[in-house]
Copies of this chain bind each other. A is one copy, B any other.
Amino acid sequence: MVTAAMARTTLCVCVCLLASQVATSHVSEKMNRTIQNLLQHYIPARERFNRRPVFSRELLGTKLEAKELLLSAALQTYEELVQHMLKELPGEESVDVRADLSYILERVQHLRRFRFQEQDKLLDGLHTFRHVMVDNELIQSKALWELPWLYEEASSLANKRRQRRRRKAKWPRTFQAH
């Protein structure tokens, strides 16, 4: 049964999606329509929406390389999330929903494969660097052995960054002086 609250939510979703479609060009009409269909199927009652987003826009207000990396991480998460939703779908009654989810999954995978390969490699590297078996004795010895060059790399890179910032800060003044 369609309640007034559900109708309002659906209308709100349509307006938002339409607005985002007008303002953008990379999210196709088909993709927008598919998300709209899925939201009608999945969306919980309006009052369950709080102001805490899954992917914070605030975090994305950073410099380009960092933003690319965050978006790449978000796309990886979307891939897992939609794959999980597909796995959890009950049988035959959800043929349309399955097709819609598969289409969204395909779009996300396409964007990742053709535009975010570099970032994905870096994320893999970060994963390797963060997930070290800290309780393994051999790893501990090896890591200690590697510490001098890594500490040196980190310190000299931080110094270079500082020098670069100082040069950047000085540049406009020099430019104005001439």
A residues contacting B by CB (< 8 A) are 13, 17, 20-21, 24, 26-27, 31-32, 35, 38-39, 42-44, 48-49, 53-57, 59-60, 62, 64-78, 80-81, 84-85, 88, 104, 107-108, 111, 115-116, 122-123, 125-126, 128-130, 132, 134-135, 137-161
Give min CB distance, A106 to chain B, whole Å.
Answer: 12
Are B26 and A152 in contact, CB atoms less than 8 angstroms apart? yes
Are B59 and A125 in contact, CB atoms less than 8 angstroms apart? yes
Main secondary structure of the interface of A (DSSP, over half): helix
When distances are taken between beta carbons in the complex, the residues of chain B under 8 Å from A21 are: 148
11 contacts across the A-B interface (CB closer than 8 A): A42-B137, A43-B144, A44-B138, A54-B142, A64-B160, A65-B65, A68-B161, A71-B153, A77-B129, A78-B150, A111-B155
